[in-house]
Amino acid sequence: MSKINKLNQLSAIRLLYVEDDTETREELQSILELYVSELYVAKNGREGLEYYKKYLPDIVVTDIQMPEMNGLSLAADIKSLNPEQQIVILSAYNDVEYLFRALELELQHYITKPISVERLLNKLAEITEHMTLARDAEKSRKLLEQYKMLVDEKAIVAKIDRNGILVYVNQHFCELSGYTEAELLGQHYLFSFDASGQEDIFADLKQALADKGKWQGILKKRTKSGAIYVVDVSVVSVFNALGQIEEFVALMVDMTEIYEKFERLSLNLKQDLNEQKHYLHEYERAMELGTSLCVIDTDGKIVSANNNFSATLNYTPEELIGHSLYDLMQDATEFKRRVLTKVEQQGFSSRVIKMASKGGFERTLSTVIVGIHNQDGHIDSLMSLSQDISDAIKLNEDIIENQKDLIYVLGEVVENRSYETGTHIKRVALISELLARKYGLSDEYANMIKIASPLHDIGKIGIPDNILHKAGKLSESEYTIMRKHADLGYQLLNKLDKPLIKMAATIAHEHHEYYNGAGYPAGLTGEHIAIEARIVSLVDVFDALSTRRIYKEPWPDAEIIEYLNKNKAIQFDPELVDLFMDNIDEILSIRNGLTA
């Protein structure tokens, strides 16, 4: 979405703005009135709380330091009324104590003073977009619950855990089997099946669930009274976020009447051709209505696409057929290398794929790719079953982005207090991310290290100015005080139970540990030091030596490289030092591109 379109979203927003400084308040009020639907302006926190209760605005923007109730007290009272209320805090760099109180209140949006109008408007637009996505997600969740309720009302449903134990059955299942829910739950899924003549089917069912996580077929079962009933069963696996099977869901159709009919005709459940075509048509229609489907040949050319799949990418089916699906993928090379190989080996593959829709917008699809085999057993084509998860991904990225903004604000507070440039934390972040990827950490973990690393020296806010800003060498007693910043940083950050902040706490606590155990504060050794701390430790020293500080001039690159190699396996992880040297050109390029 373009910046203009994002700002246009503000036209439906009701905003409460709280600021005690008259000049700032009047200037910003005149601008905000041009964008939002309704603007309520208060001169202090107490008046702001009254306005909030009266008007219930969509977003609150408030200064921190104000008379008659400061901004954090106002935010706390508002959160007690509405925990989901979106609040933007306006803060200055000297508001460090208030920022940590804001962390405890789980306030996620911050703008530093002096206020950039463009940044504030963009932040309001991002919050508005997030609120819209959240409302749409809640609407989708409720719709999904209704669909599940509809399936429960009309179908015979059972859920089975990974050990084959029934954990849920609906009323239709109980009525058909003659058993109560209490009698069925806890039983093995083969409970009450008629084993006579079905041994091969049972073996195939178990093997298919173990290998592919899905199975479809017809089974004979016995009711509690001993009568036989026949069901057409489809069993599919439900995966968790790690791609592991969480449970199985079985949907059944009562085929008893048909079975008895053809049993009397001695057809042994073999339906005639017309009826087979009828059921095939019914299954195809059900798939068309409920699933995003696309079929491609072995070269990637789209053979067919249903309306759901085409609409996700803003095309018609006719516009897609005949074109290469790979042209729409963000990383087709990786898809061909990994996904197709897995399909050939086990028949299917699950993967999240980024696709370009018509108009250039990116969509993220959670996709299962299934190999379709010809009569000779070779893969003839591939069928993809997709779910559009773009909105869910966007919500998660927004949450990470909010935490990232907070971490960079706090990191810049530290750098400003120590008279160092904000580009130091950006260089440390980018080079740490690069080194993490080279080490073999996942993209997600490397990105978390990049976001968390700016707080490695957060504990310096507790070090006295006469020590922090001393130009000469520290005395032994001064150095003892300076070393306390590692513990102080950990104590400040470890109070919050959020993954990114927890990682930042670990980095702050351990980035002065030495690989040989001679560091501080705990004297940890080797791999007892967290990998994120080992990475940031090496990168922080490299950047500190590269740049001018109050107590020294920058070192030449040759001397820095000599120092790092000399301290391999002493101060630094030897494997990381080797990786650092192997990628020194790329690292120097990052550093030189962000030199203050």
Highest mean pLDDT among 267-276, 421-430, 480-489, 530-539 belongs to 530-539
CATH of the domain at 558: 1.10.3210.10
How does residue 510 score in pLDDT terms, banded at 50, 70 and 90? very high
The last residue of a domain, from among 388, 412, 435:
388
Taking only the tens place, the pLDDT of each residue in 279-307 is 445 444 544 555 678 888 888 899 888 88
Pick the last residue of a domain from 338, 356, 388: 388
Query: At 407, which amino acid appears?
Result: I
User: pLDDT per residue over 13-46, tens digit each?
Assistant: 899 999 998 988 999 999 999 989 999 999 999 9
Same domain flag for 403 and 527: yes
Q: Are residues 568 and 464 in the same domain?
A: yes
> Residue 34 domain-assigned?
yes
Does 89 fall in a domain? yes
Residue 408 predicted with pLDDT over 70: no
Residue with tokens 């409302």: 135
pLDDT digits (tens, 9 = 90+) for 366-403: 788 888 777 777 788 888 888 777 776 666 566 566 66
Distance, CA of 492 to CA of 394 (rounded, Å): 30
- Do 464 and 480 lie in a common domain? yes
Q: Determine, yes or no, domain membership for 188.
A: yes
Task: Specify the CATH number for the domain of residue 30.
Answer: 3.40.50.2300
Helices (H), 9-114: 22-32, 45-55, 71-81, 96-104
Q: What is the pLDDT of residue 520?
A: 93
Return d(Cα 456, Cα 446) in angstroms, integer: 16
Domain co-membership, 427 together with 478 = yes
Considering only CA atoms, which of 59, 37, 35, 62 is closest in space to residue 47?
Answer: 62
**Owner of token pair 């048909």:** 258
| pLDDT of residue 308 exceeding 60 | yes
In 374-487, which ranges are E strands? 379-388
Statement: residue 231 has pLDDT above 60: yes
Instruction: Report yes or no on 150 lying in a domain.
Output: no
Considering its fold, how many domains does the chain have in total?
4
Burial of 438 (0-12, 13-18, 19+ CB in 10 A): middle
Domain end call among 237, 270, 303: 270
The domain of 487 spans: 392-593
Q: In this predicted structure, what is the pLDDT of residue 282?
A: 47
Q: Is residue 577 part of a domain?
A: yes
In 3D space, the residue among 126, 88, 127 whose CA is nearest the CA of residue 110 turns out to be 88
Looking at the structure, tell me whether residues 258 and 302 fall in a common domain: no
For 130-176, what is each residue's pLDDT tens digit? 888 877 777 766 665 555 554 555 568 888 887 888 888 888 888 88
CA nearest neighbour of 67 among 93, 90, 49, 44: 44
pLDDT tens digits, 41-66: 999 999 999 999 999 999 999 998 88
DSSP sequence for 116-168:
PHHHHHHHHHHHHHHHHHHHHHHHHHHHHHHHHHHHHHHSEEEEEETTSBEEE
d(CA 250, CA 215): 9
Same domain, 346 and 300: yes
In a domain, 233, yes or no: yes
Say what the alpha-carbon torsion angle 307, 312, 313, 315 is, to the nearest 10 degrees: 30
